[in-house]
Amino acid sequence: MESLDQSLFHFMSSSHFRPLHLADIRYITQQLLEALKELSKFKLVHGDLKPDNIMLVDHKREPFKIKLIDFGISMDVRALIPGSVIQAIGCRPQKWFWEHR
């Protein structure tokens, strides 16, 4: 298995959630869009996209180079039902959780 540095959430947490520079946000966003574009070629939806599942590869050598991880609840696009929710329960807004319990 590949050794990765830390999650984007951990990085943000360790820097007390100080905002990133716009150039860094752009770089991360471009990489995420490329990853999602690749998933779309295979007709897959990640299903659990959050800062915990965006890993920094090696922040000291390659600042903000990322990899997308945790495809545990990814789904085939053709299996999705319009209006269905596939994200992990822990990421759902509290109001939604209590209304759909």
Query: Letter for the amino acid at 73?
Result: I
| Catalytic entry in 48, 52, 58, 70 | 48
Residue 67 bridge partners (DSSP): 55
Q: Is 76 a catalytic residue?
A: no
Residues with a known catalytic role: 48
